[in-house]
Structures are given as structure tokens and as C-alpha cells.
Amino acid sequence: MYHDLCNCLKRPELYEPTAEKFWNDPYIAAQILEAHLNPNHDVASRKLDFIIRSVEWIVSLLAKGACLLDIGCGPGLYTKRFSERGLKVTGIDISEKSIEYARKYDANSKYLIQNYLEMDYFEEFDIVTLIYCDYCELFPEERRDLLRRVHKALKHGGLFLLDVFTPLKGRGKRDVTSWGLNPKGGFWSANPHICLNATYYYGETAEGNRIVIIEEDAIRSYNFWESYFTRQSLLDEAAPVGFSEQGFYSDVTGRPYSENAETLCAIFKKGRYSVSASKPRFAP
């Protein structure tokens, strides 16, 4: 156990994965759902007022009855409101617990338990949304795959709306570690355990969060990554797939773009793509 713990406490390489999966662990999934539904903080979902303003703005971009695909929809906090505003909505999430909740409280939307990196639609949607910086949590190869799948799922001229963290989120910060004793259980386990938490910063590129749970006879660890993006770096990833820039904002409520914001909302449009000798060019 000593050597296992020593390995867990080493600073990870950038985008180093962990083998453990937790989304459908029954106990952790229940904790995540509870965090989504708590209106007093924005750990898993943003606060209710922000969600409502986001929905109002996104709906204003679309024609009535537009088809919307919300990937990483969680318990349907956005999808239900999109549906109530007259959109035809499909939600995808990997968490069985979250989809179970969404189906119970929103009979008008279609919900699927699925990893959105495995979705396979063809020109079915007017807009795809990926909200609360989920894009930042993906590895580079996963992001490339997702962009191709989203592009394929959109009708011609369809929109991909997502938000990300900017380099300001980590600028000037240093690595930090902490630990907590949980004799009666906690978020990560119902059993008594010690939780070690470390946040590592990788310049203007990303931050990594490592959670180590030490129980009586076992050690588990999880790595969570959040990449940072600028307008240009996002466009550099989206353009080769066939997306053109539709607009940039400071967040998904449509707040005007600012270089001083820690978040960035991008709207990309599916369009025809050709490559010149110098740089990509989009045709209307």
C-alpha cells in the first residue's frame, strides 16, 4: 500500500489518465446528482438564475421548434427548460442516475444514457450544446473525435455552442494540496476514509485535479483535467473539422466577449470547408 500511495502522490504528467471510473458507481452517482440539484452552489451545475438566463439567450438564437441536442445534459436542468420553450430536445449523459431523474421530471424531451463520444447522428439537429466547460475535461484526441461527431450530427448551417475556461483561470496560481478526514464517510465514499486533494497547474495550458481516497483496505485515485482555451486555440481545433466562427461571448448567457473573463462561450457554424496554401477558408 505504501508504494501505491507514493505513486498516487506524484505530480501527474499532463493529461495522465486514471483507470478508475466513477460515473455509475451507485454511491458517487447519487452524490453527483445531489450536487447538480443543489441551487446554492455551482459545483456540478451552475446556479438556477444563471441557468435560466442561459436558456433565454440560447433560445433567442433559434427558430421555434428547432431541434436541439444537449450533450452532457446531467439531470436535465437545461433540457427541460429548452423543451418548455418550444424546442425539440434530446439529452445525452453517461450517468444513469442523472438520466433517470431527467426522465422522471421531463416527459417532453428524449433522454439517452450514452457516452457522447460514442454518439452517431447524421444531420439531425439545428444546434448542439455542451455547457459548463465539459469540453475542457476531454483529452485532445477526445476533443477532435467529439468535434467530428458534433459536425456530423448537425444539419448544414447548424450551430455548436460550448463554453470553456480561459488561461485567466490558472494565471498566477501555484500547485496546492489538502487533505480531509471523513470518519463517517463523505462525497467519494460512504465508508470512513481520508481524502487527499491536489491541484496542479501547467502554465497557460491546463490544470489537473487529483483525488486520492484512502479506505481501510484500498486506495483509489482519480485525475480530472481542465484545459484552457483562447478564441484562436478553440477555432484552431474547430476549423479543420468544418466549423466557422459564428460568435464569441464571455459566457453562455450571451455576455459580451471580454479578455478579462475566466470563461469563454463559442458558437461555431457548420459550413463548407476548403484549405488554401496559407490557412483554412470557409465558403458561405
Q: What is the 3-state secondary structure (H, E, C) of 126-178?
A: EEEEECCCHHHHCCHHHHHHHHHHHHHHEEEEEEEEEEEECHHHCCCCCCEEE
Indicate whether 239 pLDDT > 60: yes
**167's grid cell:** 488561461
pLDDT of residue 272: 54
Phi, psi dihedrals of residue 264, rounded to the nearest 5°: -140, 130
| Cβ atoms within 10 Å of 38's Cβ, excluding its own | 14
pLDDT of residue 229: 98
Distance set, CA 159 to CA 83, 94, 153, 200, 250 (Å):
18, 23, 10, 34, 17
pLDDT of residue 40: 67
Contact (Cβ atoms closer than 8 angstroms) between residue 96 and residue 28: no
Phi, psi dihedrals of residue 246, rounded to the nearest 5°: -105, -35
Indicate whether 202 pLDDT > 90: yes
Q: What does pLDDT average to over the chain?
A: 90
Give all strands of the β-sheet with 206-214 in edge-to-edge order.
176-182, 193-202, 206-214, 219-227
Indicate whether 284 pLDDT > 50: no
Categorize the per-residue pLDDT at 275 as very low, low, confident or very high, splitting at 50, 70 and 90: very low
pTM for this model (two decimals): 0.89
Categorize the per-residue pLDDT at 38 as very low, low, confident or very high, splitting at 50, 70 and 90: confident
Least confident of 83-92, 115-124, 152-161, 211-220: 211-220
Q: List the chain domain ranges.
A: 2-25+169-226, 38-166+229-283
The type of residue at 69 is: L
- What is the CATH number that goes with domain 38-166+229-283? 3.40.50.150
